[in-house]
């Protein structure tokens, strides 16, 4: 497992070692001991898997009382994945970082607790799979608008068209009014 530094040090881009041969490939997608070296002593309690069509954007989501760390990867297609630092005590508070994750590059992004998370599908469709450090807590969900002017996330919108979002995500709040972490 190799890692690549990003503008927000606590968000880690991981690149698993891929063993290719005439049959195809093999890779270890998660190894607790390696993860702890690069990301910290977190454990995971829930795995998620979603399928999204081209141009879909899911997020910016987070839980406040039970914040989830997320180790995310794409197993079909390609997305632009974004994490936003909501920790007031952080030197990178209010900043965002993004990475292109795809079935082809097999890269993973560690998004720690205390961040809002979202992704935008740039391929025809994308399957998104991720591990969470805490359980889904529906009454504890918050959403910041994907196009918040203060965050000014540089989404690679295809053809300049706005993304398709769920009704819930269309009602997201501004970064300014969103609840934050200490
Ligand atoms: C997240 C989640 C959802 N659900 C149910 C609730 C709804 O009936 C249905 C779809 O939920 P939602 O529209 O919130 O799914 P996403 O828009 O993909 O939400 C996720 O989007 C961004 C990318 C995130 O980082 C979060 O993991 C998560 O908020 O699945 C569950 O049963 N368990 C869960 O953990």
Please give the Cα distance from 74 to 96 (Å, whole number).
20
Domains recognised in the chain with CATH numbers: 44-170 (2.60.120.10)
Q: Which atom of ligand 1 is nearest to the CA of 143?
A: 29
Q: pLDDT digit string (tens) for 97-130?
A: 999 999 999 999 999 999 999 999 999 999 999 9
Task: Single out the residue of 5, 3, 6 nearest to residue 17, CA to CA.
Answer: 3
Q: What percent of the chain has pLDDT over 70?
A: 100
Ligand 1 centroid – CA 59 distance (Å): 9
Q: Answer whether 118 contacts ligand 1 (Cβ < 6 A).
A: yes
Ligand 1 centroid – CA 87 distance (Å): 22
């Amino acid at each position: 497992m190799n890692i690549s530094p990003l503008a927000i040090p606590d968000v880690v881009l991981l690149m698993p070692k891929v063993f290719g041969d005439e049959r195809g490939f093999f890779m270890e997608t998660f190894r607790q001991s390696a993860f702890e070296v690069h990301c910290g002593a977190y454990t995971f309690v829930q795995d998620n898997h979603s399928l999204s069509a081209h141009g879909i954007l899911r997020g910016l989501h987070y839980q406040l009382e039970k914040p989830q760390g997320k180790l995310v990867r794409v197993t079909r297609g390609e997305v632009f994945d974004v994490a936003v630092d909501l920790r007031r005590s952080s030197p990178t508070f209010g900043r965002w970082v993004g990475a292109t994750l795809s079935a082809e590059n097999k890269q993973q992004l560690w998004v720690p607790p205390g961040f809002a998370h979202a992704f935008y599908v740039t391929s025809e469709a994308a399957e998104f799979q991720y591990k969470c450090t805490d359980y889904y807590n529906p009454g504890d969900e918050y959403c910041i608008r994907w196009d918040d002017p203060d965050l000014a996330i540089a989404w690679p919108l295809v053809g300049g068209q706005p993304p398709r979002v769920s009704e819930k995500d269309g009602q997201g709040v501004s970064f300014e009014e969103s609840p934050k972490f200490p």
